[in-house]
Structures are given as C-alpha cells and as structure tokens.
A and B are shown apart, each in its own frame.
Chain A
Amino acid sequence: MRAGVAPRRVRRLIAEWQAHHTDLSGAAADAGAGPAEAALLADQQLGDDATLLRACLNRPELLSVTHRHPRLMFGVVPPLLFALVFVVLIAILVQALDVLHAGFGITLTRSSPAERMVTITFGFLLWVLPALVVGGIAHGALRQRARRLWPLIGMLAVALVGAATNLGVQWSASGVLSSLSGGIGVSTERVLELLARVAPAGVIVVAYLWRRRSVHAS
C-alpha cells in the first residue's frame, strides 16, 4: 500500500480495517460461531487483500504526492535540494573561516584548521553530496514503487550537475588563504575526474534498476 497510498492514510486504513474485522468477528461470535469460524466470516465480509488494495489504488485522492506529481518530486525537488544544500554549506564554510580569522585571530594558512575545513567541506560537496541525493531519490522511488522515468531523470540531473561543479581554493605565495571559487563546467583536462565523480552515482543507478527489477518481479 505504501507503494502509492500516502503513508498516514495507510496507517489509518489498516487500523480501521482491523477494528472492523474485530466488530465483524464479534458479531459472528454473538450469532453462535466459534472463534475460527467467526474470524473466517469476518475475513470474507471485509474482503481479501487484493480487493482492499485495489480499492485504495483506484482512488487518485488517496495517492501520495510522489505518485500524483512524480515530475516535481523526482525531477525538480532533488536537484533544487542539492543546489540549496550546496550553497548553504559553502555559506557556512565562509562564515566559519571568517570566525576563525576575525574572531580567534587564526591566520588562514595551509597548515591551519582552515585547510582541513576547506578540504573536508569541498570533499563532501563534490564527492559525497551528489551520491547522497542520488541515493535518496533511488530509495524514495523504490519505496514508493514509482515509475522509472522521473527518478532516473532526477538522478541523472543531480549526478551530472554534481560532477560538473568545480570548487577551488587559492593560496597566496606565503601560504595564506586568499580566495575560494566555484562554478559549473566541464574541462577536457579533467574528464577522468568527472568520470570518477559520476561513478558513485552510476553505481547507485545500476543498483536501483536491479533492485527495482527484483521488487517488481516478486
């Protein structure tokens, strides 16, 4: 049911079916049926799982936002979320460096905590964040049993934008941090790096397609 129906509706529907089943078996028991017979009668009156599931999935009003708007939920929201997290983390990094320098008087040199902060943040943004977002799309699509198209488009968009994003740090001749830079672009000199950065997302996409195939087959 979660593959389509909004989760909070699933919880309530199951609770209501269980309560109804209890009422039906209670009524059957009051009419003289034994416990097993009462439960069986209740099952028959309530309907089998396939009937109940079909009744839910045939009602567009009950479907989750993901099913009603797959283009938005897989194709638009994840890339926007990726961009937002990216910008926020860069802003936090810049602010942290400013605090280190202006607040604690630490010179932002290569051997200072500044370099570690920049390296860790850049590493996360360039190598980990795209894979996390792609993984999130795959997880959501599998859980909701969404059609392939929009999740794949979303994963591809995030993987390519993530791989094409470049971040740089410039150090002065005396080893002091002079600037941070960033942009989106592909350079023929960095094709191998681009491929390496797309690779984790590629692995996730393959795993998603394989898992999707086995889920749909079962």
Chain B
Amino acid sequence: MAGVPELLLLQLLSAREMYGYELARAVRLATGDTIQLGEGVLYPALHALERRSLVRARQRSVQGRTRIYYTATPAGRRRLLQLTREWRRISSAVDGALAGSSS
C-alpha cells in the first residue's frame, strides 16, 4: 500500500507532462475521487521520484506563470511496470483470500 501514490503518479506522468496542481486533480479524476492525495505532500513525493531519476522536472512559462512540469523517465516507466505487476499480484491474492473466506 505504501507504493500506491508512487504507482498513481508514475502512471499519470507516463501519459503526459503535468504540473503539481494538475496532477493532484488528475489523481482525483482518475480514481473517481476515491483517492485524494494530500495536495501539499504531493511535492515531496515528486521531488523524491526526481531524486531517484524516475521523473524529470522542467520549468515552463505558461500564460505568464512559471510552472514546474513533471514527466516520467524511461526508468520511471520501468518502475511503473514493476509496481503494476506487484499491485496486480497483491490485489489478486487479496481478492482470492476474500473470495475464499466468504464462501
């Protein structure tokens, strides 16, 4: 469960480049408001991903405002695949256990 925010962020940043506020809204939309990341804590998570070379940041000036945009790196995409496989394995195991206990 600890890797869920990382999984979501990498999934969204693999699709397109986004800045923080945009990413927070995208997480809410993509998960149907089920998962709402604390908006401020998103940035330390992004910085940590950048430090691990899983995302790349660049400054862009849009409509007179300077924003920092993030996108997944090739290493980030590989990490996404790994996290996705792990998530599917775990959720399948939990589903199996729940199905077993309810029958």
Footprint of B on A, CB under 8 Å? 9, 12-13, 15-17, 19-20, 23-24, 45-47, 51-52, 55-56, 58-59, 61-62
Question: In the bound complex, how far is the Cα of B85 from the Cα of A189, in angstroms?
Answer: 74
Question: In the bound complex, how far is the Cα of B20 from the Cα of A17, in angstroms?
Answer: 9
Question: In the bound complex, how far is the Cα of B45 from the Cα of A47, in angstroms?
Answer: 14
Question: In the bound complex, how far is the Cα of B1 from the Cα of A68, in angstroms?
Answer: 26
Question: In the bound complex, how far is the Cα of B42 from the Cα of A45, in angstroms?
Answer: 12
Q: Are A51 and B41 in contact (CB under 8 A)?
A: yes
Task: Name the one of B41, B48, B67 contacting A47, with C-beta atoms under 8 angstroms.
Answer: B41
> B24-66 CB contact bits vs A (8 Å, 1 = yes)?
1000000000000011110111011001100000000000010
Q: Are A59 and B39 in contact (CB under 8 A)?
A: no
Known contacts A16-B20, A19-B65; is A62 also within 8 Å of B44 by CB? Answer: yes
Chain B residue at smallest Cβ distance from A42: B39
Q: Are A19 and B21 in contact (CB under 8 A)?
A: yes
Known contacts A19-B21, A19-B65; is A59 also within 8 Å of B43 by CB? Answer: no
Q: Are B68 and A16 in contact (CB under 8 A)?
A: yes
Question: In the bound complex, how far is the Cα of B41 from the Cα of A66, in angstroms?
Answer: 23
Chain A residue at smallest Cβ distance from B22: A23
Task: Name the one of A12, A13, A47 contacting B39, with C-beta atoms under 8 angstroms.
Answer: A47
Known contacts A19-B67, A61-B52; is A45 also within 8 Å of B43 by CB? Answer: no
Question: In the bound complex, how far is the Cα of B47 from the Cα of A13, in angstroms?
Answer: 8
Known contacts A20-B20, A62-B47, A62-B51; is A46 also within 8 Å of B67 by CB? Answer: no
Q: Are A17 and B47 in contact (CB under 8 A)?
A: no
Question: In the bound complex, how far is the Cα of B47 from the Cα of A56, in angstroms?
Answer: 9
Q: Are A13 and B38 in contact (CB under 8 A)?
A: no
Question: In the bound complex, how far is the Cα of B47 from the Cα of A46, in angstroms?
Answer: 16
Known contacts A16-B68, A19-B65; is A45 also within 8 Å of B51 by CB? Answer: no
Question: Which residues from B are CB-within-8-Å of A59?
Answer: 44-45, 47-48
Question: Which residues from B are CB-within-8-Å of A24?
Answer: 21, 39
Q: Are A16 and B43 in contact (CB under 8 A)?
A: yes
Question: In the bound complex, how far is the Cα of B67 from the Cα of A146, in angstroms?
Answer: 33
Question: Which residues from A are CB-within-8-Å of B47?
Answer: 9, 12-13, 59, 61-62
Q: Report A27 CB to chain B, min CB distance, Å.
A: 9
Question: Which residues from A are CB-within-8-Å of B20?
Answer: 16, 19-20
Q: Report A107 CB to chain B, min CB distance, Å.
A: 61
Question: In the bound complex, how far is the Cα of B47 from the Cα of A12, in angstroms?
Answer: 9
Question: Which residues from A are CB-within-8-Å of B21?
Answer: 19-20, 23-24
CB-CB nearest 4 A-B residue pairs: A47-B40, A55-B41, A61-B51, A23-B21
Question: Which residues from B are CB-within-8-Å of A19?
Answer: 19-21, 65, 67
Specify which of B19, B38, B39, B52 lies most central, judged by the most chain A CB atoms within 10 Å of its CB.
Answer: B39
Question: Which residues from B are CB-within-8-Å of A62?
Answer: 44, 47-48, 51
7 intermolecular pairs with C-beta atoms under 8 Å apart: A13-B44, A17-B40, A20-B40, A52-B41, A55-B41, A59-B45, A62-B47
Question: In the bound complex, how far is the Cα of B40 from the Cα of A47, in angstroms?
Answer: 6
